[in-house]
């Protein structure tokens, strides 16, 4: 669905923490195209980035440490999306033009959207830990000249937040083309935070995109989500 929304391309990955006592998460294998993933293409990794279980012959993505080290540092995180949305990345390429909060759902990032200065692949535990430190307690960060990381409590929630992260970046760019950007004020954010019902909205957006994907044939009818 992220591919169909022109957010995920030939690169990037989504993971989900497995609901168990073990420190493991589910993620796609390295070679399978993102727009044709099936359950059999998913692998289980531990927090050291090792593939375990029945699909252990498949390889993990190069940046598996990005996911592993965030999960290790953030017990509250249940899902992670890493993608490369060029228009959002552009805000990391210019001086003194940070991505601002301009749409109501951007209240999710009112604590900040830090920028990780190292633009390289997050390959290896050291780089994964460095990225996790940049992310800190926030719900998203940008990687300079590279891409984005969005974290949330579940896979539907991280999908919801990724859609809105991109929409906010698009809106900021469009507004900047017209004139002076008026970001959301503290009072605006307080109002939106009080009124938005996150669980309901996550379910609503997820159901809408799943239904659309089924109608267009992207999701097979027998695949339950």
> Mind listing the pLDDT tens digit for each residue in 109-122?
999 999 999 999 99
Determine whether 73 is exposed, middle or buried from the number of CB atoms within 10 Å of its CB (0-12, 13-18, 19+): middle
- What integer best gives the mean pLDDT of the chain? 94
* Residues spanned by the domain of 61: 13-216
Q: Which residues contact 3 (CB under 8 A, 6 or more apart)?
A: 9, 34, 35
Q: Is the pLDDT of residue 21 over 90?
A: no
∠ CA(136), CA(141), CA(145), 5° rounding?
135
Mean pLDDT of all residues in 198-206: 96
Mean pLDDT of all residues in 67-90: 97
29 within some domain: yes
pLDDT at 132: 98
pTM for the whole structure? 0.95
How many CB atoms sit inside 10 A of residue 96's CB?
4
Q: Is the pLDDT of residue 40 over 90?
A: no
Mean pLDDT of all residues in 163-181: 97
222 within some domain: no
Number of domains the chain contains: 1
Share of the chain above pLDDT 70, in %: 100
Mean pLDDT of all residues in 64-90: 97
CA quadruple 198, 199, 200, 203: dihedral sign: positive
């Amino acid at each position: 669905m992220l591919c169909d929304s022109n957010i995920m391309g030939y690169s990037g990955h989504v993971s989900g923490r497995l609901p168990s006592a073990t420190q493991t998460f589910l993620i796609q294998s390295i070679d399978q195209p993102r727009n044709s993933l099936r359950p059999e293409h998913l692998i289980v990794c531990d927090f050291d980035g090792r593939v375990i279980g029945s699909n252990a012959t498949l390889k993990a993505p190069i940046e598996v440490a990005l996911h592993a080290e965030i999960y290790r540092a953030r017990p509250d995180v249940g899902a992670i999306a890493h993608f490369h949305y060029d228009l959002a990345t552009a805000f990391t390429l210019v001086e003194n033009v940070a991505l601002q909060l301009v749409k109501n759902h951007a209240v999710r990032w009112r604590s900040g959207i830090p920028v990780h200065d190292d633009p390289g692949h997050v390959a290896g535990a050291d780089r994964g830990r460095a990225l996790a430190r940049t992310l800190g307690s926030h719900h998203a960060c940008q990687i300079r000249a590279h891409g984005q990381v969005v974290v949330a409590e579940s896979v539907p929630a991280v999908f919801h937040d990724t859609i809105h992260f991109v929409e906010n970046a698009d809106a900021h760019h469009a507004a900047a083309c017209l004139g002076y950007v008026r970001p959301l004020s503290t009072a605006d954010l307080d109002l939106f935070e009080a009124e938005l019902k996150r669980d309901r909205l996550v379910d609503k957006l997820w159901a809408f995109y799943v239904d659309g994907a089924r109608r267009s044939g992207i999701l097979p009818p027998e695949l339950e989500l």
